[in-house]
């Protein structure tokens, strides 16, 4: 396995790769109005998961066990994965579904490993206790934390992706 510095670089590179894969997804997609509606509904669940997680998190400042972090170690990535499934449905193409799946598996695995390495360096034993379920840092959901965690960027990307697929579907009708 690559060291944490290599993982960190690859994790940052995933955003650029996301744009490249996004262009390929749009190019190879064959959306219909129905596939866009169903896919958008699924992707909305993923975005809701991301918002819920972002509202419980102080990124890189502490570990938390509240909200979805009680059940999932990486709920932001889980939400992104559900968004990816929704976009694959919206795109209406098996090739696109495989492309999205490949991107998600590679990019999110690298991101999760990089993040875990960072959190272990930053929080040491406290992070390991959190992962084993021993830390009980609970807090209420906060829209201010959603904003501070820049979740609006994911929302804009989600809306843009669904909008572009909807435009392509309307053009194909």
Express each pLDDT in 85-142 by its tens digit: 999 999 999 999 999 999 899 888 888 888 888 888 888 887 777 777 676 666 789 9
Q: How high is the pLDDT of residue 84?
A: 95
Task: Kindly state the tokens that stand for 8.
Answer: 């960190």
Asked whether the whole model's pTM tops 0.85, one would answer: yes
Backbone angles phi, psi at 32, to 5 degrees: -120, 165
Q: What is the DSSP letter of 137?
A: -
Express each pLDDT in 20-36 by its tens digit: 888 888 899 999 999 99
Task: Kindly state the tokens that stand for 151.
Answer: 């979740």
- 164 versus 128: the higher-pLDDT residue is 164
């Amino acid at each position: 396995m690559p060291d944490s510095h290599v993982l960190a670089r690859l994790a940052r590179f995933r955003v650029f790769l996301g744009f490249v894969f996004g262009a390929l997804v749009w190019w190879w997609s064959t959306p219909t109005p129905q596939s866009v509606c169903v896919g958008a509904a699924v992707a909305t669940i993923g975005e809701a998961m991301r918002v819920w997680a972002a509202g419980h998190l102080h990124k890189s400042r502490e570990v938390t066990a509240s909200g979805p972090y009680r059940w999932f170690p990486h709920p932001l990535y889980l939400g992104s994965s559900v968004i990816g499934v929704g976009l694959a449905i919206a795109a209406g193409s098996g090739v696109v579904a495989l492309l999205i799946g490949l991107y998600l598996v590679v990019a999110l695995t690298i991101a999760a490993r990089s993040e875990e390495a960072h959190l272990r360096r930053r929080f040491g034993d406290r992070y390991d206790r959190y992962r084993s379920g021993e830390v009980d840092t609970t807090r209420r959901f906060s829209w201010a934390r959603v904003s501070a965690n820049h979740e609006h960027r994911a929302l804009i990307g989600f809306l843009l992706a669904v909008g572009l697929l909807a435009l392509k579907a309307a053009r194909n009708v």
